[in-house]
Amino acid sequence: MSLASKAPVAAPPALTPAGRRRRGHVGLPLALLVPSTVVLAVVIGWPLIQLVIQSFQQYGRAQVFGAPAPFIGFQNYANVLSDPKFWNVLGRSVLFCVVCVVITIVLGTLVALLMQRLNKGFRTLLSIGLLLAWAMPPLSATFVWGWVFDTQYGVANYLLTQVTGTNWMGHSWLISAVGFFFVAGVIVVWGAIPFIAFTVYAGLTQVPDEVLEAAQLDGAGALARFRLIVLPYLRSIFLVLIVLSTIWDLRVFAQIQALQAIGGSIAETSTIGVYIYQTSLANGEYGTGGAIAVILVLILMAVSFVYIRQSLKEDEA
Amino acid sequence: MRKFSIVAATALVAAAGLVLSGCAAGGSGGSDDKAEIRVWLNGTDTPKEAREYLTTTFEKQHPGSTLKIEEQSWTGLVDKLTTALSGSDSPDVVEVGNTQSPAFTTVGAFMDLSSKKKELGGDDLLPGFVEAGSADGKLYAAPYYSGARLVFYRKDMFAAAGLEAPKTLDEYVADGEKLASANAGVSGIYAPGKDWYNALPYIWENGGEIATEKGGKWTSSFSSADSVKGIEQLQQVYEKASTAPKDGDETNPQVPFCANQVAQLSAPSWVKGSILAPADSDTPGCPDLESNLGVFALPGKSGGAAHVFAGGSNIAVSNKSKHKELAYDALKIMLSDDYQTILGKNGLVPAKKSLASTLGTDDVAKAIAEAAANSKLTPASPKWADVESSNLLQDFFSAVAQGGDVKSLATELDKKIDAILNK
């Protein structure tokens, strides 16, 4: 992406008197772009085109195994958009995403600030811990957290019983939608904090010490220094982190799907990614599922637009 | 940054090249004399002894070829099979639940076995399962095994409460409540909310039905007066007799059973093997409970055996298999008398009627015979598998377990099921 946005800069017109030389200059970057474009087209482009085509077809399990798929225009889209279930799921996903992103960014930043103040030994220890959480596949993480919050044998219920003195054994965390999304939120946030923490920590090293020192001499407290100096310096980093986190949390799949297998009501806890899977693969309605997926792609593209515009701006700066 | 991207692009291309060539190498072993056959079996239902027999027999019959068993989980199986069977990397032989089978036999996912039916057992094969595996008069998925649902119980808890095996369904429920109140934290009847298989007998025994067909149109009938009566009786079980999670499912019932938290457990016959599995196996059981483990067929409303759900499996060759002949040979082994006898000895009802005696003559075998005689199937619609995989039933019974109003929940459920069955 950064290569694409920088390519025109590579051939400043003023320095190329001869047209032939200019073409040679442009040709090389273009030639170098070809392989990655081909790979992207094959790996992402082709499935995306198929998805869009499918979303205009009547496409069920029979079509998966070779039956012809008739085109039905915008029927799938009409069905999806007039289905209150879809709007429920979308609203739920957005809400869950917003809450997770806010908590992730706040906690991640706090961890980054902590890392800045720790001595080398503890910072290494913390980094290793963060890396392990970051490296844990979401599916494994969900199962481990699922055991922690298990209804009959979970350590969470055990500890709560020990600490509060009341009997928590047999308490189901996942049975209500709120409880379910609490546990799902814990898993998602836990897995996302390391990336935020490392990135913000890296950004913090770019904030010049002398400016901070000067502000301190002028009597700015820690909070004021963070708000008035650190935050403006890291503005673009935060923007990118928020956009990326939004994209990740909006299409969250593995954690929700795996948690639904452990407990909770499936109809009340599906987020958009899981809903697409259920519509397409479980119910065999690939056309409808395709339409929902295309709608999600459009939403995510709108979010990414902010990201791309920001990185273009930075290039110009 | 720019340099990095170029390097990354080169690396991507190189990686893609490697992956693609890897695919080619994997796919080129197309000749039928030496190949690896992949068999998908679900859950731990097929005993270890049978798996070993299948692998060694196949590899002896086909020197140079290998057979690999890949265990799949029952949860989400329809989704997984749809993806796997339509892809280029399809497994060769797959086990599919009898009620899920129509979703695949009607769309051409399986190889036609009609011409081989006689060789596989002909009229000796279980008729209900032949029907489940057929579409348009052709056989696509052969019967694999059937399993009756039985009630396993703790003899010591029964003795302490002065109880004997119940004669009617009402007695069974009353016993469950008695056992639950006599033993704190124990399920008199273990009834996790998402276990819809074990919920069905309450509906059937009270005169209700799941769904009925008339003139090609299906009508879901969970909200009929009789069905509601049955579901309300089940709600009583959830509330007064069971301490199982209201949003839990039926997997691994041996865990609470071995933790002394269950007095009565309605489960497929092969669960006996899970309960008595050695303590050091992958899924440990509690073999020391053997003398304490009683069994009976779930009693009906007016005595005799109840209508229970006839679970079981069919087995088929994928239409996308690259080695159909070898795959069929593996399937043939699984329907051989020797293999089916191993299943019978392990409490699974063999796919052939003539092998019913291999179940033996112990209490489990007697209970299986009683239960199987009166067992029932889910609605015979190719769309029924979609009802199952939509999780509607799990959510419904889980809501009932949490004390929801049965009539209104059932009315809502009927509407959703009608929409799927008449799609």
The one-letter amino acid at A305 = F
At residue A304 the predicted structure's pLDDT band, cuts being 50, 70 and 90, is confident
User: For residue B273, what pLDDT is reported?
Assistant: 84
B321 pLDDT above the threshold of 60? yes
> Distance from B12 to chain A by nearest Cα, in Å?
7
Residues of chain B with CATH 3.40.190.10: 34-147+311-373, 149-309+390-421
> Whole-angstrom Cα distance, residue A16 to residue A93?
52
A13 pLDDT above the threshold of 50? no
Of A243-252, A301-310, B25-34, which gets the smallest average pLDDT?
A: B25-34
pLDDT tens-digit map of B377-410? 899 888 898 899 889 999 999 999 999 999 999 9
pLDDT tens-digit map of A260-282? 989 999 999 999 999 999 999 88
B30 pLDDT above the threshold of 60? no
pLDDT tens-digit map of B192-213? 999 999 999 999 999 999 999 9
> Distance from B300 to chain A by nearest Cα, in Å?
30
Name the class of domain B149-309+390-421: alpha beta
Q: Token pair for residue A287?
A: 């056309």
Percent above pLDDT 90 for chain A: 76
Q: Which residues contact B204 (CB under 8 A, 6 or more apart)?
A: B230, B306, B307, B376
- C-beta of residue B255 within 8 angstroms of C-beta of residue B289: no
A1 pLDDT above the threshold of 80? no
B362 pLDDT above the threshold of 60? yes
Average pLDDT in the B81-85 region?
Answer: 92
Q: Does B389 touch chain A (CB under 8 A)?
A: yes
> Whole-angstrom Cα distance, residue A55 to residue A150?
39
> What separation in angstroms does the CA of B21 have from each of A236, A278, B14, B18, B162?
42, 33, 11, 5, 70
Place of tokens 């690896």: B36
Of A8-12, A26-30, A99-103, B168-172, which gets the smallest average pLDDT?
A: A8-12
Q: Do B247 and A174 touch (CB under 8 A)?
A: yes
A253 pLDDT above the threshold of 80? yes
Q: Give the torsion sign (CA, A308, A309, A314, A316).
A: positive
- C-beta of residue B163 within 8 angstroms of C-beta of residue B180: no
Quick one: CA torsion of B226, B229, B234, B239, rounded to 10 degrees?
170
E strands, A211-267, in order: none
B174 pLDDT above the threshold of 90? yes
At residue B10 the predicted structure's pLDDT band, cuts being 50, 70 and 90, is very low
A230 pLDDT above the threshold of 60? yes
Percent above pLDDT 90 for chain B: 69
- C-beta of residue B396 within 8 angstroms of C-beta of residue B413: yes
Among residues B171, B179, B210, B183, the alpha carbon closest in space to that of B397 is found at B210
Q: Do A175 and B10 touch (CB under 8 A)?
A: no
Average pLDDT in the B310-319 region?
Answer: 93
B84 pLDDT above the threshold of 80? yes
Average pLDDT in the B161-183 region?
Answer: 96
Searching chain B, which residue's CA lies closest to the CA of residue A64? B86
The full DSSP string for A108-136 is HHHHHHHHHHS-HHHHHHHHHHHHHHHHS
The domain defined by A84-316 folds into MetI-like fold (1.10.3720)
Of B13-22, B57-66, B215-224, which gets the smallest average pLDDT?
A: B13-22
The one-letter amino acid at A282 = A
User: For residue B33, what pLDDT is reported?
Assistant: 65
Q: Which residues contact A146 (CB under 8 A, 6 or more apart)?
A: A183, A258, A259, A262
pLDDT tens-digit map of A46-59? 999 999 999 999 99
Average pLDDT in the A130-154 region?
Answer: 94
B4 pLDDT above the threshold of 50? no
The one-letter amino acid at B171 = E
Q: Does B246 touch chain A (CB under 8 A)?
A: yes
> How many C-beta atoms surround the C-beta of residue A238 within 10 A?
16
Q: Does A138 touch chain B (CB under 8 A)?
A: no
> Whole-angstrom Cα distance, residue A107 to residue B115?
65
> Whole-angstrom Cα distance, residue B66 to residue B34?
8
DSSP A226: I
- C-beta of residue A185 within 8 angstroms of C-beta of residue A249: no
Of A146-150, A165-169, B169-173, B229-233, which gets the smallest average pLDDT?
A: A165-169
> Whole-angstrom Cα distance, residue A86 to residue A274?
12
CB pairs under 8 A between A and B: 103
Contact residues on chain B for A179, CB-CB shorter than 8 A:
none
Q: Which of B12, B75, B246 minimises the CB distance to A261?
A: B75
Q: Does B184 touch chain A (CB under 8 A)?
A: no
At residue B50 the predicted structure's pLDDT band, cuts being 50, 70 and 90, is very high
Average pLDDT in the B116-144 region?
Answer: 93
Percent above pLDDT 70 for chain A: 91
Q: Give the torsion sign (CA, B281, B283, B288, B292).
A: negative
User: For residue A7, what pLDDT is reported?
Assistant: 41
Lateral strand order in the sheet of B264-268: B264-268, B149-154, B293-296
Q: Does A42 touch chain B (CB under 8 A)?
A: yes
> Distance from B220 to chain A by nearest Cα, in Å?
18
Average pLDDT in the A64-73 region?
Answer: 92
Q: Can you say whether residue B25 is alpha, beta or left, with left for phi > 0 and alpha for psi between -120 and 50 degrees?
A: alpha
B93-97/B36-42 β-pairing:
parallel
The full DSSP string for B158-206 is HHHTT----SSHHHHHHHHHHHHHHSTT-BSS---TT--GGGHHHHHHT
Average pLDDT in the B367-371 region?
Answer: 89
User: For residue B27, what pLDDT is reported?
Assistant: 38
How is chain A split into domains, by residue range? Answer: 84-316
> What separation in angstroms does the CA of A191 have from each of A110, A135, A143, A188, B184?
16, 9, 13, 5, 39
At residue B56 the predicted structure's pLDDT band, cuts being 50, 70 and 90, is very high
B142-147/B311-317 β-pairing:
antiparallel
Q: Which residues contact A75 (CB under 8 A, 6 or more apart)?
A: A58
Searching chain B, which residue's CA lies closest to the CA of residue A9? B2
CATH superfamily, with its number, for domain B34-147+311-373: Periplasmic binding protein-like II (3.40.190.10)
> Whole-angstrom Cα distance, residue A55 to residue A75?
9
User: For residue B124, what pLDDT is reported?
Assistant: 93
Q: Token pair for residue B2?
A: 């720019």
User: For residue B16, what pLDDT is reported?
Assistant: 45
> Whole-angstrom Cα distance, residue B112 to residue B129?
16
Contact residues on chain B for A259, CB-CB shorter than 8 A:
none
Run of H or E including B214: strand B211-214
At residue B8 the predicted structure's pLDDT band, cuts being 50, 70 and 90, is very low
Among residues B334, B253, B269, the alpha carbon closest in space to that of B67 is found at B334
Contact residues on chain A for B261, CB-CB shorter than 8 A:
152
Q: Do A282 and B9 touch (CB under 8 A)?
A: no
Q: Do A2 and B2 touch (CB under 8 A)?
A: yes
A310 pLDDT above the threshold of 80? no
Q: Do A263 and B10 touch (CB under 8 A)?
A: no
> How many C-beta atoms surround the C-beta of residue B345 within 10 A?
16
Q: Give the torsion sign (CA, A19, A21, A27, A29).
A: negative
> What separation in angstroms does the CA of A111 have from each of A116, A135, A191, A229, B422?
9, 17, 14, 18, 55
User: For residue B3, what pLDDT is reported?
Assistant: 42
**Adjacent-strand bridge partners of B68:** B38
> What separation in angstroms does the CA of A61 have from each of A14, A64, B380?
59, 5, 18
Average pLDDT in the B250-272 region?
Answer: 92
B2 pLDDT above the threshold of 70? no
pLDDT tens-digit map of A14-35? 444 444 455 557 788 889 999 9
Contact residues on chain A for B136, CB-CB shorter than 8 A:
none
At residue B65 the predicted structure's pLDDT band, cuts being 50, 70 and 90, is very high
Q: Does A151 touch chain B (CB under 8 A)?
A: yes
B134-135/B149-154 β-pairing:
unpaired
Q: Which residues contact B330 (CB under 8 A, 6 or more apart)?
A: B37, B39, B54, B58, B67, B92, B93
User: For residue B374, what pLDDT is reported?
Assistant: 87
Q: Does A185 touch chain B (CB under 8 A)?
A: no
The CA-based angle B87-B90-B92, given to 5 degrees, is 155
